[in-house]
Structure 1
Amino acid sequence: MPSYYRPATLTDALGVLAETGAVIAAGCTDLFPSTDRQELAGPVLDITAITGLRGVSRTDAGWRIGATTTWSDLLAAELPPAFTMLKESAAEVGSVQIQNAGTVAGNLCNASPAADGVPPLLALDAEVELTGANGARRLPLARFLTGVRQTQRRTDELLTAVLVPEAATRGSSRFLKLGARKYLVISIAMVAVRQHVVDGAIEDIALAVGSCSAVAVRLRDLERRLIGCPVDGLSDLVTDAEAASCLSPISDIRADGPYRAGAASELLRRALDDLGDRP
């Protein structure tokens, strides 16, 4: 039996997956570093040749980001200002070489608490499309991610696309990240903010924080409180205590929990200030 498969169709890929339970490979920027040997163990299913899985497209319901879309693809795509935070996070995913190879679906399926793409996609109300032999299903990204390196993907499914609804593409956005150095860093805390302003007041807002919990989270209570508030001085309404109450900050070699919570609050305030300064 072959140990490496690179089918050209989704049907063939799902057949291989059902028959072999193969390891799914795309950019391999997470897969290879997590492998403690010179080669991947067991059958490997390379999904990069599957027609239709790569690229960003507009749909009647919003936007579709194919599973094998790379971070460089996202940076080059023409997208509304609400996606600026996703592009800013794409520019923070490792080096340019990593951005050229790493894929959106791989970033989500790896399910690292520090995955740069997750907070912006949460703030865009993204859903994932999971496809198996019995058809496709959709899950909100917040439900898809269940823990550190844990997702709701079944062993016979592929994550085939990320879907962003039209209603979440209003307004402008900002992504900020704190690490121990400026470049090529795993974050201590990161935030994604999207806001839609009408007549000087917040009509819609999304606040997401990553690297501060087992999975990135939306700050729903704080969002509700900010609806209707004047955009001027909005950052003053974000307190350390309220932001921390929405998080379960983790402690590791990079930072302890209290430091992470305080950093996340400050990043939220800076992101809101940055958006307030934009025309």
Structure 2
Amino acid sequence: MLMLEYLRPDNLEDALLTLTEQPCTLLAGGTDFYPARVGKKITENVLDLSGIRGLRSIQETEEGFLLGALTTWTDIVDSDLSSAFDGLKQASKTIGGIQTQNAGTLCGNICNASPAADAVPNLMALDAEVKLKSLRESRSLSLEEFILGNRKTAIKADELVSGIFIPNPGKNAVGNFKKLGTRSYLVISIVMVGVVVELNEEDEVMELKVAVGACSPVAKRLRLLEEDVVGQKLNSIEIQPRHLESLQPIDDIRASASFRKIVTPELLKRAIQGVKQK
């Protein structure tokens, strides 16, 4: 009979040692892990990280902010993070119900690597870096380097994500998030947009960072749009077809590719111009 192990270490060193000894599926909040296995046998060793208290934290440093691997959606909402994080806070409020927000983790969301992961566009717009740790080394990858495709990441078998680092945003930066779904809550996004914008006193764009999710295997930064809008008045921004050429929307149960192409420009304008209403 196949013998499986469920392990719940209370420190990071023991967790990393376990990963060198045997393959394990990592468990944090469990809000994706358990629903995916309803009615099925668990066929893998499970390494539950929830006992490592040091991984649940939000720390500010001189260089930026470190969000620990067990930081929950509720932790993000309740934090005093600056207005640049407003989009991430908005997304945190739309993920599942309150129970899911209390248990689910930000890092679990990125490790699940769903094309419709609501945190990802916001984190990309914040230039997020993923902190990876093993007994061999510690390394950092940009979120764009970390998520390789649908349900695929660059994490190695003996590694875990220890946190997400956000470099200091501009002091006047404001974040925003817009998603389109069949309802406002408890819904997987058809299209979503995360932005971080800095304006001058004349409402001209000094800097824009924007990413679109659910329109490609991995959320995409729209760097051409970011370049084109610098110096433009916020209310005069227009989204051109060439700005969206990197997107690869598909037909699925939620919407067609053609519908996604139609609604994305409008959602982008609402997300970008909506920072002024915050």
CA distance in 1, matches of 2:186, 2:137: 38
**Equivalent AA in structure 1 for residue 274 of structure 2:** D
Does residue 210 of the first structure (1) align with residue 213 of the second (2)? Answer: yes
Identity of aligned residues (%): 41
1:34-49 equivalences under 5 Å are 34-35=36-37, 37-49=39-51
Give the deviation of 1:167 after TM superposition: 3.8
| Native 8 Å contact 1:243 1:261 kept in 2 | no
Distance 1:79 1:6, change over 3 A: same
Give the deviation of 1:36 after TM superposition: 5.3
CA distance in 2, matches of 1:165, 1:99: 24
| Native 8 Å contact 1:244 1:262 kept in 2 | no
| Native 8 Å contact 1:243 1:265 kept in 2 | no
Residues 104-130 of structure 1, C-alpha deviation per residue, up to 9 Å, x if partnerless?
111000000000100000000000000
Aligned to 2:267: 267
Distance 1:207 1:265, change over 3 A: same
| Native 8 Å contact 1:10 1:51 kept in 2 | no
Q: TM-score, with normalisation over the residues of structure 1?
A: 0.94
Aligned to 1:64: 66
CA distance in 2, matches of 1:70, 1:262: 34
Does residue 228 of the first structure (1) align with residue 196 of the second (2)? Answer: no
**Equivalent AA in structure 2 for residue 27 of structure 1:** G
CA distance in 1, matches of 2:42, 2:176: 37
| Native 8 Å contact 1:132 1:158 kept in 2 | yes
Residues 70-91 of structure 1, C-alpha deviation per residue, up to 9 Å, x if partnerless?
1011111101000000000000
Structure 2 residue ranges without an equivalent (≥5): none
| Native 8 Å contact 2:4 2:43 kept in 1 | no
- Secondary structure (helix, strand or coil) at the match of 1:193 reads strand
Aligned to 1:125: 127
CA distance in 2, matches of 1:168, 1:256: 37
- Secondary structure (helix, strand or coil) at the match of 1:108 reads helix
Aligned to 1:94: 96
CA distance in 2, matches of 1:27, 1:211: 23
Give the deviation of 1:170 after TM superposition: 4.4
Give the deviation of 1:246 after TM superposition: 2.8
Please report the RMSD computed on the Cα atoms of aligned residues, expressed in angstroms: 1.5
Residues 236-276 of structure 1, C-alpha deviation per residue, up to 9 Å, x if partnerless?
x223x234323111211111112112222111111122223
The count of residues paired between Structure 1 and Structure 2 equals 275
User: Which sits farther off after the overlay, 111-120 or 246-255?
Assistant: 246-255
Distance 1:37 1:21, change over 3 A: farther
1:142-221 equivalences under 5 Å are 142-167=144-169, 170-200=172-202, 201-221=204-224
| Native 8 Å contact 2:74 2:102 kept in 1 | yes
Give the deviation of 1:101 after TM superposition: 0.7
CA distance in 2, matches of 1:232, 1:70: 35
Distance 1:168 1:39, change over 3 A: farther
Aligned to 1:238: 239
Q: TM-score, with normalisation over the residues of structure 2?
A: 0.94
